[in-house]
Chains A and B, each alone.
Chain A
Amino acid sequence: MNAIEFKKVSKQFGAFFANKDVSFAVAKASIHGLIGENGAGKSTAMKVLFGIHPPDLGEIWVNDQPVKIHHPIHAMKHKIGMVHQHFMLAENESVLSNIILGQETGRFFIDRKQAVSELDAISKKYELGFNKWNVPVSALSVGDQQKVEIIKLLYQKSEVLILDEPTAALTPQEVQALFVNIQKLKQEGNTIILISHKLKEVLKFTDSVTVMRRGEIVGTRKTSETNEDELAEMMVGRKISFTYQGERKVLANTSNLKPVLEVKNLSIAASAMTHEPLVDVSLALKPNEIVGIAGVQGNGQTTLLRFLSNPAAFSRKCSGEYQIQGKSALRETPLSLRHKGVGLIPEDRIAEGLLLHQDMVENFLLGQHQDERYLKHGVLQRGIAREQVVKKISDFDIRPNHPGIWTGRMSGGNQQKLVIARALDPNPKILLTAHPTRGVDVGAIEKIHDSIIRERNQGKSVLLFSAELDELIDLSDRILVFFDGRIQGEFARNEFDAWNIGRVMGGGQK
């Protein structure tokens, strides 16, 4: 019996088919992977199933019956639940309040006792080992917040659980624990649909897997009968490699080179500006080096990046020293840092990097609006900037290849390539790079990694912040692991090991 079946479902946004004639089936009591690059349409398919976007054409069948799902309430009625990639939790409220939201028991007053006893039963049945019902959600780790989301679905008696990129913010240890729980759910008769772009996890934990590309289904395979290479080829449409294949030039003697960027005993207290304090952080970045910054999100990396790219904003809130090329940089602003050869690829390209309602040329000028190449007598030289953008489009293979395109209409990967092209345009000596491949298609990841390594090989210094451990291990010369606002451990390239780094990310010792 199929728990879920898509029959020729189409969903269109503007001229763009997010889903086109999508048909696939998910067997009951199985773990089904749904994979594809960013923008392949897997999230859209699941939003159609969950009633967030009703389909334009086609049918959805639940338990071999055709159903109409035009609102998440309909989906819940059909016992379908979804854990979104960004959790939908009210952070200041208790776990209990979050779980019973919309399902309150009791006639007039909420019967919390009854709810707690039901939740204890669920926790016991699925061996989740969770009982912090009265703790505010904000006090929980990311892994526990995810558990809350799952328990919430079970409390709603969902039988089909959609998990959207559930491992994106977890350490390797937490990922392991999550999949143990998912196996247990399956044994109890639940169906799990796992959206992911991490092939290794899908291969390890699912029963069958459906691959999507450009809004269409490429095919469905039994997990036991496929492998990483086949799935990757299905996803991208050509053969790709997973680890960086390019040349990694080694300089003869880097140890006596002077650091170009140095931070000494930096402490920043938590304030309205930043929720993540930093405690006594010291690091040095030398030429010809990529230093990776690892850590579970929220352990101070964001504060460090904000400080390094705009120290003047922290002038009265920090203690310690920050030097660039041996000179104090504590009073520098983003523009003056750019002048000193520091390039920035911000954490969140949409929130911090782009003007989505403007074209590529306008976006290319952001931060470069006072560069003498593009500004003459107070007038921005759009023509010159446009020529430069055309050049970058071919250098970085940005698509669509028209500089007049509105950046909000570009895919994540192409937006990111534009942000990188902009950061490299003034030929910086130091590159502060955060999550350069977050939400970027597999094909574009190669290109982005290439350009980062190329910069390093040319003697530049790169500080690489990333949530993808594989990426850090692939690219970095050293990795610094942040935990609770301090550097918990440092790994040299010959010590790289995902499991060990993961343990330090969770607060353990090296």
Chain B
Amino acid sequence: MSRWSAFQTSLLHPTVRSFIKSVLGSILGLILGLIICKFAGESPFHILKILYTSCFGSGYDFGMTLFCTAPLILTGLAVAIPLRAGLFNIGAEGQLTLGAIAVASSSVVWPSLTSHPALQWLAIPFAATLGFLAGGLWGAIPGVLKAKRGSHEVITTIMLNFIAAGISAYLAIYVLKDPESTQAQTVFLPEFFHLKPFTIFNGAPMGHLIWITLLGVVLFHLWITKSAWGYKLRAVGENELAAETYGISKQRSWMSSMFIGGGVAGLVGVVEVLGNSHRFKMGFSADYGFVGIAVALLARGNILGILPSAFLFGMLQKGSGSLDLETEKITRELSYLIQGLIILGVASEGLWEILSTHLKTRVLKGAKRKNG
């Protein structure tokens, strides 16, 4: 076996291939972004240093980086889970908005929670369930429409994003509005609804939630890869017709994956409302739902891959603010630019094709020269 073919065989495994593509794509995107900085008149090393200090410089900074990462893990899952069943969920933004407002309304939905001290330990689980259900049901709508009517999920999820924005605005302004505030935000939740942050993070709103999130990712990974249910989702996602031929209902897989995906997006409400602001504020989401698409694509639908992928985007998000403050010529938009370039790098299948053919002909010709 030639050197090239031995090398290639070791790369055959699809997971290995996509991992390499994702890593190379990220590096490529970062380099291109830094080249643009150079043209804008800033030293790339300076930019890297700012990004590094901003993300890891202090306990508070690291806590904030994790706080930016957690919602992206959730929305990444919200996109990746339906993706495994063959659906492209563009609606995580709407799902998380409704999830967040449901979490924020939990004290109103069940008033006795607040009045009976014996029930207070239920507050956080109840709020989380409410957030999951709200996001899940919102996600299930396009799932059901796809299964029953064949409506394309990309169209319906986009439309539902707008509707969710409208509903949440209506609720925040007219129904659940905090009467003591002039802003469009809901009432402040009582203290037993609050998640306590770690003290080492010096006030950054991140606590035990990060462990729960990590555990959740591992559980979702096991669910998708080991359970019969997960198997059905994957079979439908990979080959609908084969799945149906062998008795797997694509309709059921579509509906359930969209419900679960939407539910996970709804849990962003737990991070934001219970962990940080303790109320729903309009426009709190830094496009988490849309960045989640990038997170899932970079992870190529691999559930465990969501973790590094979300962390990368979390760092870019956190670092973007510092770029504004600490450089003269670069603004926070640069981080969006890098995010976009990374996705381009990962998605450029043609580039990988050219790279691999180029490498191949070189190795072939080299071998030929050696032999002949």
Q: Are A and B subunits of one complex?
A: yes
In angstroms, Cα B68 to Cα A91, docked, is 53
B241 touches A355 (CB 8 A): no
Near B by CB (< 8 A), chain A positions 234-270 give none
User: Does B228 make an interface contact (CB < 8 A)?
Assistant: yes
A358 touches B238 (CB 8 A): yes
User: Does B227 make an interface contact (CB < 8 A)?
Assistant: yes
Task: Name the distance in Å between A5's Cβ and chain B's nearest Cβ.
Answer: 21
A14 touches B245 (CB 8 A): no
Task: Name the distance in Å between B148's Cβ and chain A's nearest Cβ.
Answer: 15
Closest to B243 in A: A366
A15 touches B4 (CB 8 A): yes
In angstroms, Cα B241 to Cα A351, docked, is 7
B241 touches A366 (CB 8 A): no
B247 touches A335 (CB 8 A): yes
Closest to A375 in B: B228
Of listed B231, B235, B241, B244, residue having the most chain A CB within 10 A: B231
Task: Name the distance in Å between B333's Cβ and chain A's nearest Cβ.
Answer: 37
In angstroms, Cα B222 to Cα A382, docked, is 13
Task: Name the distance in Å between B341's Cβ and chain A's nearest Cβ.
Answer: 27
Task: Name the distance in Å between B300's Cβ and chain A's nearest Cβ.
Answer: 11
Closest to A381 in B: B226
In angstroms, Cα B247 to Cα A369, docked, is 10
- One of A333, A346, A357, A370 near B14 (C-beta < 8 A): A357
User: Does A356 make an interface contact (CB < 8 A)?
Assistant: yes
User: Does A57 make an interface contact (CB < 8 A)?
Assistant: yes
Of listed B9, B14, B226, B228, residue having the most chain A CB within 10 A: B228
User: Does B242 make an interface contact (CB < 8 A)?
Assistant: yes
In angstroms, Cα B361 to Cα A401, docked, is 30
Task: Name the distance in Å between A309's Cβ and chain B's nearest Cβ.
Answer: 7
Near A by CB (< 8 A), chain B positions 318-372 give 360-361, 364, 368
In angstroms, Cα B241 to Cα A340, docked, is 22
Q: In the complex, which range does the number of interface residues on chain A fall in?
A: 35 or more
A367 touches B247 (CB 8 A): yes
Please give the number of chain B residues whose Cβ is less than 8 angstroms from any Cβ of chain A in the complex: 30
A56 touches B242 (CB 8 A): no
B247 touches A56 (CB 8 A): no
Task: For A12, list chain B residues within 8 Å (CB).
Answer: 360, 364
User: Does B118 make an interface contact (CB < 8 A)?
Assistant: no
Task: Name the distance in Å between B28's Cβ and chain A's nearest Cβ.
Answer: 23
User: Does A406 make an interface contact (CB < 8 A)?
Assistant: yes
Known: A15-B9, A379-B227, A380-B226. A353 touches B232 (CB 8 A): no
Near B by CB (< 8 A), chain A positions 327-356 give 333-336, 338, 344, 346, 351-356
Counted as pairs of residues, one from A and one from B, with CB atoms less than 8 Å apart, the total is 84
Task: Name the distance in Å between B220's Cβ and chain A's nearest Cβ.
Answer: 15
A379 touches B232 (CB 8 A): no
- One of B12, B239, B360 near A356 (C-beta < 8 A): B239
Task: Name the distance in Å between B305's Cβ and chain A's nearest Cβ.
Answer: 16
Task: Name the distance in Å between A368's Cβ and chain B's nearest Cβ.
Answer: 8
In angstroms, Cα B12 to Cα A369, docked, is 26
A334 touches B8 (CB 8 A): no
Task: For B244, list chain A residues within 8 Å (CB).
Answer: 310, 334
Task: For B245, list chain A residues within 8 Å (CB).
Answer: 309-310, 334, 344, 346, 352-353, 367
Task: Name the distance in Å between B267's Cβ and chain A's nearest Cβ.
Answer: 23
Task: For B8, list chain A residues within 8 Å (CB).
Answer: 14-15
In angstroms, Cα B235 to Cα A402, docked, is 21
Known: A14-B8, A335-B247, A406-B14. A366 touches B227 (CB 8 A): no
Mark each residue of chain B from 85 to 126: 1 if its CB lies under 8 Å from any CB of chain A, else 0: 000000000000000000000000000000000000000000
In angstroms, Cα B241 to Cα A362, docked, is 16
Mark each residue of chain B from 1 to 13: 1 if its CB lies under 8 Å from any CB of chain A, else 0: 1001100110011
B14 touches A352 (CB 8 A): no
A409 touches B12 (CB 8 A): yes
Known: A14-B8, A333-B247, A353-B242. A365 touches B360 (CB 8 A): no
Task: Name the distance in Å between B69's Cβ and chain A's nearest Cβ.
Answer: 29
A355 touches B239 (CB 8 A): yes
Near B by CB (< 8 A), chain A positions 46-63 give 56-57
User: Does B39 make an interface contact (CB < 8 A)?
Assistant: no
In angstroms, Cα B104 to Cα A61, docked, is 75
In angstroms, Cα B13 to Cα A310, docked, is 34
Task: Name the distance in Å between B251's Cβ and chain A's nearest Cβ.
Answer: 12
The 7 A-B pairs at the shortest CB distance, nearest first, are namely A367-B246, A334-B247, A15-B5, A335-B247, A352-B245, A355-B238, A15-B8
Can you offer 13 A-B residue contacts whose CB atoms are under 8 A? A15-B1, A57-B364, A310-B247, A334-B244, A334-B245, A334-B247, A346-B245, A351-B239, A354-B242, A355-B239, A362-B231, A366-B246, A369-B235
